[in-house]
Amino acid sequence: MLDILYQDDALIAVNKPAGLAVHRSKMVGNAEEFLIDLLRDQIGGTVQLAHRLDRATSGVLLIARSSEMSAALGEQFMGRHVCKKYLAVVRGWPDPVQGLIDYALPGSRETGPRREARTHYQRLATIEVPIELGRYPQQRYALVQAEPESGRFRQIRKHLAHIHHPVIGDCQHGRGDHNRLYKQHFGCHRMLLHAWQLRFAHPVSGKPMSIEAPLDNAYESLLARFGWRVPEEMESR
């Protein structure tokens, strides 16, 4: 059963599990299950995606109950009126502690035209673990909050890799040696990127909505092991 965070006649918010593809596409390869199909079977009726998350990413996903609601929510996303906050565990300690990544990105095709893309980030916690890897006897990692202004393909993953602090578990844009370290030493087999909070206006009432998705056991256990805590709800930019 999918974890439903919010539901009414206009929309549904689901806590998407890591590793579950949202819908059928050429990008998801050999996926056998899709969130949109599972949700349709679970609740019945019409369901349409209002936005998307990568297969490896977990967290808040909005589903519309009609094409009209999907269009209304889509306008908010396209108009950048939706505040999106993500939590990520990254290699290294981003410096400065708070900053803006302003780096144009292509679409799903790397050879496509680049479009402006901006992601704000804030370093929330750090740790240095005494595990030798390469020429370093200890490894540094950080918990980061990322808030993208735009919604380009894999924007947060690409932006954090661009500043040399890739997301742990990211097979396309991350570091294989650090990904293996997390599997071997911490039993963590997922990408550590989580769509934590969404703020938007309800498409019918206009009421301000704030939906938060709890971390799964694997992510929560890792944070506990590092002595990190999910922060209280933070003000957006």
pLDDT at residue 237 in the model: 52
The tens-digit pLDDT sequence of the chain (237 residues) is 999 999 999 999 999 999 999 987 655 556 678 999 999 999 988 899 999 999 999 999 999 999 999 999 999 999 999 999 999 999 999 999 999 999 999 887 777 789 999 999 999 999 999 999 989 999 999 999 999 998 899 999 999 999 999 999 999 999 999 999 999 999 999 999 999 999 999 999 999 999 999 999 999 999 999 999 987 765 445
Q: Say which of 9, 37, 54, 170 is annotated catalytic.
A: 54
Q: What is the pTM of this model?
A: 0.93
Show me where the domains of the chain are located: 3-226
State residue 29's pLDDT score. 55
The residue assigned the tokens 């990254």 is: 90
CATH superfamily of the domain spanning 3-226: Pseudouridine synthase (3.30.2350.10)
CA atoms within 13 Å, Cβ hemisphere of 159:
30
CB 66 within 8 A of CB 46: yes
Count of Cβ atoms closer than 10 Å to residue 217 Cβ: 7
41 among known catalytic residues: no
DSSP code for 11: E
Q: What is the C-alpha separation between 166 and 170, in angstroms, rounded?
A: 7
- Residue 98 phi, psi dihedral angles, 5° rounding: -135, 135
Q: Among 25, 47, 45, which Cα is nearest to 36's?
A: 47
Q: Supply φ then ψ for residue 182, to 5 degrees.
A: -65, -35
What is the pLDDT, as a whole number, of residue 32?
74
Contact of 8 with 18, CB cutoff 8 Å: no
Residue 54 CA: distances (Å) to CA of 17, 126, 140, 165, 172: 11, 25, 26, 19, 12
